Amino acid sequence: MEILTTNVYDKQPKEPIYDRRKESEAFGKTRLGVKGLVDSGITRIPRMFHHPPETLFYYEKTENNDPNLEIPVIDMSMDHAKVVEQLRDASTKYGFFQVINHVVPVSHLDRLLDVVQAVHELPDEEKKRQYREDILASGPGFGFSSYHDLFEYMAASWCDTISVRLSPNPVDPMDIPEVCRNEVLEWDKEVTVLAERLGELLSEGLGLNSDKLKGTPLLERKGMVGHYYPQCPEPNKTIGTASHTDLGMFTILIQDMVGGLQVEYDGKWIDLKPVHGALVVNIGDLFQILSNDKYKSGAHRVYANPWEKPRVSIATFLSPPFEDENLYGPFEELTSPENPALYKQLKFSDMLEKFMARNASSMSMVDHFRL
Protein backbone atom coordinates (compact mmCIF):
# COMPACT_ATOMS: atom_id res chain seq x y z
CA MET A 1 0.00 0.00 0.00
CA GLU A 2 1.30 3.39 -0.95
CA ILE A 3 1.90 5.63 2.02
CA LEU A 4 1.38 9.34 1.39
CA THR A 5 3.41 11.77 3.43
CA THR A 6 2.86 15.48 3.79
CA ASN A 7 5.64 17.96 4.46
CA VAL A 8 4.29 20.68 6.70
CA TYR A 9 6.68 23.14 5.08
CA ASP A 10 4.84 22.71 1.76
CA LYS A 11 1.94 24.64 3.26
CA GLN A 12 4.09 27.58 4.31
CA PRO A 13 4.22 30.66 2.04
CA LYS A 14 7.36 30.51 -0.05
CA GLU A 15 9.75 33.43 -0.28
CA PRO A 16 9.82 34.84 -3.81
CA ILE A 17 12.88 33.91 -5.84
CA TYR A 18 15.28 36.84 -5.84
CA ASP A 19 16.10 38.15 -9.32
CA ARG A 20 19.20 40.33 -9.07
CA ARG A 21 19.11 41.43 -12.70
CA LYS A 22 15.44 42.40 -12.52
CA GLU A 23 16.05 44.52 -9.43
CA SER A 24 19.13 46.09 -11.03
CA GLU A 25 17.24 46.93 -14.20
CA ALA A 26 14.43 48.52 -12.21
CA PHE A 27 16.98 50.57 -10.28
CA GLY A 28 18.72 51.62 -13.50
CA LYS A 29 15.47 52.73 -15.07
CA THR A 30 15.05 55.38 -12.39
CA ARG A 31 18.19 57.07 -13.80
CA LEU A 32 18.65 58.73 -10.41
CA GLY A 33 21.28 56.52 -8.84
CA VAL A 34 21.82 55.83 -5.16
CA LYS A 35 20.99 59.39 -4.22
CA GLY A 36 17.55 58.83 -5.71
CA LEU A 37 17.01 55.99 -3.24
CA VAL A 38 18.09 58.19 -0.35
CA ASP A 39 15.81 61.00 -1.50
CA SER A 40 12.89 58.56 -1.60
CA GLY A 41 13.25 58.10 2.16
CA ILE A 42 14.25 54.43 2.28
CA THR A 43 15.33 53.00 5.64
CA ARG A 44 16.50 49.66 4.25
CA ILE A 45 18.74 49.26 1.24
CA PRO A 46 17.66 47.02 -1.67
CA ARG A 47 19.03 43.51 -1.68
CA MET A 48 21.14 44.19 -4.77
CA PHE A 49 23.43 46.27 -2.52
CA HIS A 50 23.88 43.53 0.10
CA HIS A 51 27.44 42.19 0.15
CA PRO A 52 28.37 38.79 1.66
CA PRO A 53 29.29 39.15 5.35
CA GLU A 54 32.83 37.93 4.76
CA THR A 55 33.48 40.76 2.28
CA LEU A 56 32.01 43.59 4.36
CA PHE A 57 34.03 46.35 5.95
CA TYR A 58 32.66 49.44 7.62
CA TYR A 59 33.59 52.29 9.90
CA GLU A 60 32.95 50.35 13.12
CA LYS A 61 34.91 47.33 11.90
CA THR A 62 38.50 48.52 11.71
CA GLU A 63 41.24 46.05 10.86
CA ASN A 64 44.14 48.41 11.46
CA ASN A 65 45.56 47.55 14.86
CA ASP A 66 48.84 49.43 14.39
CA PRO A 67 48.47 53.17 15.11
CA ASN A 68 51.99 53.74 13.74
CA LEU A 69 50.85 52.95 10.19
CA GLU A 70 49.96 56.13 8.36
CA ILE A 71 50.07 57.14 4.70
CA PRO A 72 52.81 59.79 4.32
CA VAL A 73 51.99 63.46 3.76
CA ILE A 74 54.77 64.98 1.64
CA ASP A 75 55.50 68.70 1.39
CA MET A 76 56.46 69.43 -2.23
CA SER A 77 58.06 72.73 -1.24
CA MET A 78 60.88 70.90 0.55
CA ASP A 79 64.39 70.44 -0.81
CA HIS A 80 64.19 68.66 -4.17
CA ALA A 81 66.26 65.65 -3.14
CA LYS A 82 64.16 65.21 -0.01
CA VAL A 83 60.92 65.28 -2.02
CA VAL A 84 62.25 62.64 -4.44
CA GLU A 85 63.35 60.45 -1.54
CA GLN A 86 60.02 60.63 0.28
CA LEU A 87 57.99 60.03 -2.88
CA ARG A 88 60.16 57.00 -3.69
CA ASP A 89 59.85 55.56 -0.20
CA ALA A 90 56.06 56.00 -0.09
CA SER A 91 55.63 54.55 -3.60
CA THR A 92 57.78 51.57 -2.66
CA LYS A 93 56.13 50.83 0.67
CA TYR A 94 52.48 51.80 0.27
CA GLY A 95 51.90 52.83 -3.34
CA PHE A 96 50.09 55.82 -1.82
CA PHE A 97 51.01 59.26 -0.51
CA GLN A 98 49.49 62.70 -0.01
CA VAL A 99 51.12 65.90 -1.27
CA ILE A 100 50.74 69.43 0.06
CA ASN A 101 52.14 72.72 -1.24
CA HIS A 102 51.60 71.51 -4.78
CA VAL A 103 50.81 73.71 -7.80
CA VAL A 104 47.03 73.85 -7.28
CA PRO A 105 45.50 76.52 -5.00
CA VAL A 106 43.54 74.93 -2.18
CA SER A 107 40.63 77.24 -2.94
CA HIS A 108 40.40 75.66 -6.41
CA LEU A 109 40.21 72.17 -4.91
CA ASP A 110 37.48 73.23 -2.49
CA ARG A 111 35.49 74.80 -5.30
CA LEU A 112 35.85 71.72 -7.49
CA LEU A 113 34.53 69.48 -4.72
CA ASP A 114 31.59 71.86 -4.26
CA VAL A 115 30.61 71.89 -7.93
CA VAL A 116 30.94 68.11 -8.34
CA GLN A 117 28.60 67.73 -5.37
CA ALA A 118 26.29 70.26 -7.04
CA VAL A 119 26.17 68.12 -10.21
CA HIS A 120 25.09 65.10 -8.18
CA GLU A 121 22.44 67.22 -6.47
CA LEU A 122 20.95 68.69 -9.65
CA PRO A 123 17.17 68.41 -10.09
CA ASP A 124 16.09 64.93 -11.12
CA GLU A 125 15.18 65.76 -14.71
CA GLU A 126 18.57 67.36 -15.35
CA LYS A 127 20.42 64.35 -13.94
CA LYS A 128 18.36 61.92 -15.98
CA ARG A 129 19.50 63.61 -19.21
CA GLN A 130 23.12 62.87 -18.30
CA TYR A 131 22.56 59.24 -17.28
CA ARG A 132 24.50 56.45 -18.99
CA GLU A 133 24.45 52.76 -18.10
CA ASP A 134 28.18 52.39 -18.70
CA ILE A 135 30.37 55.42 -18.03
CA LEU A 136 33.44 53.50 -19.23
CA ALA A 137 32.05 53.03 -22.71
CA SER A 138 33.01 55.27 -25.60
CA GLY A 139 30.55 57.97 -26.51
CA PRO A 140 29.74 61.36 -24.99
CA GLY A 141 32.61 62.76 -23.00
CA PHE A 142 30.45 63.41 -19.93
CA GLY A 143 28.07 61.07 -18.16
CA PHE A 144 26.40 60.15 -14.89
CA SER A 145 25.85 56.62 -13.62
CA SER A 146 25.46 54.62 -10.44
CA TYR A 147 28.80 52.92 -10.82
CA HIS A 148 29.90 50.75 -13.70
CA ASP A 149 29.69 47.46 -11.79
CA LEU A 150 25.91 47.53 -11.50
CA PHE A 151 25.33 44.23 -13.34
CA GLU A 152 28.75 42.54 -13.29
CA TYR A 153 29.38 42.11 -9.57
CA MET A 154 27.63 39.99 -6.96
CA ALA A 155 26.46 43.19 -5.26
CA ALA A 156 26.32 46.87 -6.22
CA SER A 157 28.23 49.65 -4.49
CA TRP A 158 26.67 52.56 -2.58
CA CYS A 159 28.08 55.25 -4.84
CA ASP A 160 27.13 57.48 -7.78
CA THR A 161 29.67 58.69 -10.33
CA ILE A 162 30.12 61.32 -13.01
CA SER A 163 32.76 60.75 -15.68
CA VAL A 164 34.59 63.34 -17.78
CA ARG A 165 36.98 62.57 -20.65
CA LEU A 166 39.78 65.15 -20.50
CA SER A 167 42.30 63.84 -23.05
CA PRO A 168 43.41 62.83 -25.63
CA ASN A 169 39.93 63.31 -27.13
CA PRO A 170 38.51 65.90 -24.76
CA VAL A 171 34.85 66.32 -24.03
CA ASP A 172 33.03 69.15 -25.78
CA PRO A 173 32.92 71.81 -23.04
CA MET A 174 29.25 72.42 -23.79
CA ASP A 175 28.51 68.79 -22.81
CA ILE A 176 29.71 69.53 -19.27
CA PRO A 177 26.91 70.88 -17.03
CA GLU A 178 27.24 74.61 -16.58
CA VAL A 179 27.35 74.28 -12.79
CA CYS A 180 30.81 72.69 -12.98
CA ARG A 181 32.09 73.53 -16.48
CA ASN A 182 34.61 76.26 -15.67
CA GLU A 183 36.04 74.42 -12.68
CA VAL A 184 36.49 71.16 -14.62
CA LEU A 185 38.26 72.94 -17.48
CA GLU A 186 40.54 74.75 -15.05
CA TRP A 187 41.31 71.48 -13.25
CA ASP A 188 42.25 69.91 -16.58
CA LYS A 189 45.00 72.51 -16.99
CA GLU A 190 46.18 72.25 -13.39
CA VAL A 191 46.27 68.45 -13.22
CA THR A 192 48.23 68.30 -16.50
CA VAL A 193 51.01 70.41 -14.98
CA LEU A 194 50.94 68.47 -11.71
CA ALA A 195 50.98 65.07 -13.44
CA GLU A 196 54.01 66.05 -15.49
CA ARG A 197 55.82 67.19 -12.35
CA LEU A 198 54.96 64.01 -10.46
CA GLY A 199 56.10 61.95 -13.44
CA GLU A 200 59.48 63.65 -13.28
CA LEU A 201 59.90 63.18 -9.54
CA LEU A 202 58.77 59.56 -9.58
CA SER A 203 61.13 58.82 -12.48
CA GLU A 204 64.01 60.30 -10.50
CA GLY A 205 63.00 58.12 -7.57
CA LEU A 206 63.70 55.09 -9.77
CA GLY A 207 67.13 56.44 -10.68
CA LEU A 208 65.94 57.43 -14.18
CA ASN A 209 66.20 60.73 -15.98
CA SER A 210 63.47 63.15 -14.96
CA ASP A 211 62.22 63.32 -18.57
CA LYS A 212 61.79 59.53 -18.88
CA LEU A 213 58.03 59.80 -19.41
CA LYS A 214 58.14 62.95 -21.51
CA GLY A 215 57.16 62.51 -25.14
CA THR A 216 55.60 59.09 -24.47
CA PRO A 217 51.90 58.18 -24.41
CA LEU A 218 52.19 57.00 -20.80
CA LEU A 219 50.44 60.05 -19.29
CA GLU A 220 48.50 61.04 -22.38
CA ARG A 221 45.07 59.88 -21.26
CA LYS A 222 43.38 61.81 -18.47
CA GLY A 223 40.00 60.58 -17.27
CA MET A 224 38.22 62.27 -14.39
CA VAL A 225 35.50 60.76 -12.22
CA GLY A 226 33.55 62.48 -9.47
CA HIS A 227 32.22 60.05 -6.86
CA TYR A 228 29.30 60.85 -4.57
CA TYR A 229 28.68 58.65 -1.52
CA PRO A 230 25.38 59.66 0.13
CA GLN A 231 24.52 58.55 3.62
CA CYS A 232 23.66 54.85 3.71
CA PRO A 233 20.85 53.77 6.08
CA GLU A 234 22.46 50.32 6.52
CA PRO A 235 26.23 50.86 6.14
CA ASN A 236 26.99 47.47 7.69
CA LYS A 237 25.40 45.66 4.74
CA THR A 238 27.12 47.26 1.75
CA ILE A 239 30.27 49.07 0.64
CA GLY A 240 31.20 52.32 -1.09
CA THR A 241 33.86 50.91 -3.42
CA ALA A 242 35.29 47.39 -3.50
CA SER A 243 38.98 46.70 -3.02
CA HIS A 244 40.93 47.28 -6.24
CA THR A 245 44.08 48.70 -7.79
CA ASP A 246 44.09 51.32 -10.53
CA LEU A 247 45.07 50.28 -14.02
CA GLY A 248 47.33 53.00 -15.38
CA MET A 249 50.38 54.99 -14.30
CA PHE A 250 49.07 56.89 -11.30
CA THR A 251 45.92 58.54 -10.00
CA ILE A 252 45.51 61.99 -8.46
CA LEU A 253 42.63 62.19 -6.01
CA ILE A 254 40.88 65.10 -4.34
CA GLN A 255 38.83 64.07 -1.32
CA ASP A 256 36.71 66.04 1.09
CA MET A 257 37.01 65.80 4.87
CA VAL A 258 34.34 63.11 5.41
CA GLY A 259 36.73 60.17 5.12
CA GLY A 260 36.18 56.52 4.20
CA LEU A 261 39.16 55.69 1.96
CA GLN A 262 41.35 52.82 3.14
CA VAL A 263 44.69 51.53 1.81
CA GLU A 264 45.95 47.96 2.12
CA TYR A 265 49.41 47.36 3.54
CA ASP A 266 50.87 44.08 4.75
CA GLY A 267 47.48 42.46 5.19
CA LYS A 268 46.04 45.41 7.10
CA TRP A 269 43.83 48.30 6.10
CA ILE A 270 44.92 51.84 6.91
CA ASP A 271 42.46 54.73 7.09
CA LEU A 272 43.75 57.43 4.77
CA LYS A 273 42.98 60.44 6.91
CA PRO A 274 41.87 63.50 4.92
CA VAL A 275 44.17 66.54 5.03
CA HIS A 276 42.58 69.78 3.88
CA GLY A 277 44.20 70.94 0.66
CA ALA A 278 46.19 67.74 0.14
CA LEU A 279 46.08 65.65 -3.01
CA VAL A 280 46.19 61.87 -2.72
CA VAL A 281 48.38 60.07 -5.27
CA ASN A 282 48.51 56.32 -5.84
CA ILE A 283 50.67 54.21 -8.11
CA GLY A 284 48.86 52.15 -10.75
CA ASP A 285 49.41 48.68 -12.19
CA LEU A 286 51.24 49.84 -15.32
CA PHE A 287 53.74 51.88 -13.30
CA GLN A 288 54.42 48.86 -11.06
CA ILE A 289 55.20 46.83 -14.18
CA LEU A 290 57.42 49.53 -15.70
CA SER A 291 59.28 49.89 -12.40
CA ASN A 292 59.88 46.12 -12.29
CA ASP A 293 58.15 45.96 -8.90
CA LYS A 294 60.17 48.79 -7.36
CA TYR A 295 56.93 50.76 -7.04
CA LYS A 296 53.76 49.18 -5.67
CA SER A 297 50.28 49.51 -7.10
CA GLY A 298 48.28 50.29 -3.98
CA ALA A 299 45.06 48.39 -3.29
CA HIS A 300 42.33 50.58 -1.82
CA ARG A 301 38.63 50.61 -0.99
CA VAL A 302 35.92 52.88 0.44
CA TYR A 303 33.36 51.93 3.06
CA ALA A 304 29.70 52.92 2.77
CA ASN A 305 29.17 56.40 4.16
CA PRO A 306 27.40 56.30 7.57
CA TRP A 307 27.35 60.08 8.02
CA GLU A 308 24.63 62.57 7.19
CA LYS A 309 27.03 64.61 5.05
CA PRO A 310 27.74 63.02 1.66
CA ARG A 311 31.32 62.07 0.84
CA VAL A 312 32.70 63.56 -2.40
CA SER A 313 35.94 62.59 -4.12
CA ILE A 314 37.42 63.34 -7.53
CA ALA A 315 39.91 60.99 -9.16
CA THR A 316 41.94 61.74 -12.29
CA PHE A 317 43.52 58.69 -13.90
CA LEU A 318 46.75 59.06 -15.89
CA SER A 319 47.49 56.33 -18.43
CA PRO A 320 48.14 55.67 -22.10
CA PRO A 321 45.09 55.97 -24.36
CA PHE A 322 42.94 52.85 -24.37
CA GLU A 323 43.71 52.27 -28.05
CA ASP A 324 47.50 52.61 -27.60
CA GLU A 325 49.28 49.78 -29.45
CA ASN A 326 52.78 50.37 -28.07
CA LEU A 327 54.47 47.55 -26.19
CA TYR A 328 55.46 48.17 -22.56
CA GLY A 329 57.53 46.27 -20.07
CA PRO A 330 60.02 46.99 -17.29
CA PHE A 331 62.29 49.92 -18.13
CA GLU A 332 65.58 48.61 -19.55
CA GLU A 333 67.57 50.74 -17.10
CA LEU A 334 66.01 48.81 -14.23
CA THR A 335 66.86 45.32 -15.50
CA SER A 336 70.11 43.39 -15.66
CA PRO A 337 71.29 39.77 -15.49
CA GLU A 338 71.19 40.15 -11.70
CA ASN A 339 67.76 41.85 -11.78
CA PRO A 340 65.89 40.33 -14.73
CA ALA A 341 62.59 41.66 -16.03
CA LEU A 342 59.69 40.34 -13.97
CA TYR A 343 57.04 41.07 -16.61
CA LYS A 344 56.52 40.30 -20.26
CA GLN A 345 55.96 42.94 -22.90
CA LEU A 346 52.32 44.01 -23.17
CA LYS A 347 49.99 46.52 -24.73
CA PHE A 348 47.86 48.72 -22.52
CA SER A 349 44.82 47.30 -24.29
CA ASP A 350 45.86 43.86 -22.95
CA MET A 351 45.67 45.25 -19.42
CA LEU A 352 42.32 46.88 -20.14
CA GLU A 353 40.93 43.56 -21.38
CA LYS A 354 42.00 41.82 -18.17
CA PHE A 355 40.62 44.70 -16.13
CA MET A 356 37.18 44.45 -17.72
CA ALA A 357 37.10 40.70 -17.00
CA ARG A 358 38.55 41.01 -13.51
CA ASN A 359 35.47 39.60 -11.76
CA ALA A 360 36.24 36.22 -13.28
CA SER A 361 39.62 35.95 -11.58
CA SER A 362 41.03 36.46 -8.12
CA MET A 363 44.49 37.22 -9.52
CA SER A 364 45.91 40.67 -9.03
CA MET A 365 46.09 42.63 -12.26
CA VAL A 366 49.89 42.65 -12.54
CA ASP A 367 50.15 38.90 -11.93
CA HIS A 368 48.47 38.27 -15.27
CA PHE A 369 51.61 39.58 -16.94
CA ARG A 370 54.40 38.12 -14.78
CA LEU A 371 57.05 36.01 -16.43
Q: pLDDT: is 344 or 358 the higher one?
A: 344
On the question of pLDDT at 15 being above 60, the answer is no
Instruction: Kindly compute the dihedral angle of the four CA atoms of residues 321, 325, 330, 332, in this order, to the nearest 10 degrees.
Output: -120
What pLDDT, in 10s, does the model give residues 85-109?
Answer: 999 999 999 999 999 999 899 999 9
Given this model, what pLDDT does residue 8 score?
39
What pTM value is reported for the model? 0.92
Q: How many angstroms separate the CA atoms of 284 and 208, rounded?
A: 18
What pLDDT, in 10s, does the model give residues 237-256?
Answer: 999 998 999 999 999 999 99
Q: Is the domain 72-369 a CATH 2.60.120.330 member? A: yes
Mean pLDDT of 355-362: 61
Given this model, what pLDDT does residue 355 score?
78
On the question of pLDDT at 12 being above 50, the answer is no
Q: How many angstroms separate the CA atoms of 365 and 354, rounded?
A: 7
Given this model, what pLDDT does residue 5 score?
36
Domain range list for the chain: 72-369
Dihedral sign, CA of 33, 37, 38, 44?
Answer: negative
On the question of pLDDT at 23 being above 90, the answer is no
On the question of pLDDT at 270 being above 80, the answer is yes
Q: What number of helices (H) and strands (E) belong to the chain?
A: 8, 14
